[in-house]
């Protein structure tokens, strides 16, 4: 009897094609995992911006404390002092909002 050489060639071609498609799928999964890892890691620019925002927030808090202590007790009830305090509160709250992590 004669050996079936034709079907072996077809099987080899099929296995080669299957191996190539599996390799392609694994490469795609690896690329997506790498992209996801890069998306979740903080970049240097983000780190610098966050640090500068925290520094600005600390500085504004320091200024608010100093101006509160410097205000004389007699001036605390005046309209000008109230408007100034309101402006300082708004400024500090906007800085807090800007530096708050999302």
Shared domain for 35 and 47, answered yes or no, is no
Shared domain for 61 and 75, answered yes or no, is yes
**Number of CB atoms found within 10 A of residue 33's CB:** 10
Shared domain for 1 and 34, answered yes or no, is yes
Host domain of residue 73 = 43-102
**What percentage of the chain carries pLDDT values higher than 70?**
81
Report which of 38, 55, 39 is spatially closest to residue 98, judged by C-alpha positions: 55
Which residues are CB-contacts of 50 (< 8 A; sequence separation ≥ 6)? 99, 101
Shared domain for 50 and 100, answered yes or no, is yes
The reply to whether the predicted model has a pTM over 0.85 is no
On average, the pLDDT of the chain sits at 79
Shared domain for 25 and 50, answered yes or no, is no
Shared domain for 32 and 75, answered yes or no, is no
Shared domain for 35 and 64, answered yes or no, is no
pLDDT digits (tens, 9 = 90+) for 42-73: 778 878 888 898 998 888 888 887 777 766 66
């Amino acid at each position: 009897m004669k050996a079936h050489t034709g079907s072996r060639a077809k099987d080899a071609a099929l296995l080669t094609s299957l191996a190539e498609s599996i390799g392609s799928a694994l490469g795609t999964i690896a690329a997506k995992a790498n992209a996801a890892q890069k998306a979740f890691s903080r970049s240097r620019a983000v780190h610098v911006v966050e640090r500068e925002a925290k520094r600005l927030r600390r500085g504004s808090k320091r200024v608010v404390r100093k101006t509160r202590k410097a205000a004389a007790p007699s001036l605390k009830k005046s309209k000008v002092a109230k408007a100034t305090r309101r402006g300082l509160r708004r400024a500090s709250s906007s800085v807090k909002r800007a530096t708050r992590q999302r």
